[in-house]
């Protein structure tokens, strides 16, 4: 299954999709094995922001690919708030120097785990509270 339905409890957007723009949300992204492996191969020392920024984990959790994903067994899924951490533009998916997201406003590049790699953005793309309530439904918020 490469799509999930999103159910947002506190937030105003719902939708479905692999990548795209839905207001504040990048829909959950079903990453390819290549995208996962590329992110896993990145040394944590190479990251601009070393923290996972994942609301489901402790604040000091490092930004490993697993910590950025939906967790063990769901490493292919990544759920993020689609707001650039610089000044709040909406990054474009499957774009930029690292094959993840690119913010066209001032040129921030995020990798396939949504971690900022280049440009003025100070933090990785934020991961909201979410839970898979089934294999095909994600509750956000």
Between CA 48 and CA 14 the distance in angstroms is: 31
Going by the DSSP 8-state scheme, the letter that residue 124 receives in this structure is: P
Give me the DSSP letters along 49-102.
S-B--BTTS-TT-B--HHHHTT-TT-TTEEEEE---TTT---PEES-STTEEEE
The residue among 40 and 118 lying less far from ligand FES, judged by its C-beta, is: 118
Minimum CB separation of residue 102 from ligand FES in Å reads 9
Binding site for ligand FES (CB under 6 A): 84, 86-89, 103, 105-108, 119-121
Whole-angstrom distance, CA of residue 43 vs CA of residue 41: 6
Exactly one of 10, 86, 106, 109 is catalytic; which is it? 106
10 in catalytic set: no
Least distance in angstroms from the C-beta of 112 to ligand FES = 18
Which one, 67 or 125, has the nearer CB to ligand FES? Answer: 125
Closer residue to ligand FES (CB): 63 or 90: 90
Residues annotated catalytic, as ranges: 106
């Amino acid at each position: 299954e490469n799509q999930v339905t999103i159910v947002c409890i506190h937030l105003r957007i719902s939708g479905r999709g692999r990548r795209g723009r839905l207001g504040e949300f990048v829909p959950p992204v079903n990453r390819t094995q290549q995208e996962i492996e590329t992110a896993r191969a990145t040394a944590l020392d190479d990251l601009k922001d070393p923290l996972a920024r994942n609301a489901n984990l402790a604040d000091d959790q490092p930004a490993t690919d697993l910590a950025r994903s939906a967790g063990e067994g769901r490493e292919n899924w990544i759920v993020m708030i689609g707001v650039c951490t610089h000044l709040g533009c909406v990054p474009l998916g499957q774009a930029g120097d690292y094959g993840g997201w690119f913010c066209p406003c001032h040129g921030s590049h995020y990798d396939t785990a949504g971690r900022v790699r280049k440009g003025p953005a100070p933090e990785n793309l934020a991961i909201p509270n979410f839970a898979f309530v089934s294999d095909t439904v994600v509750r956000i918020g």
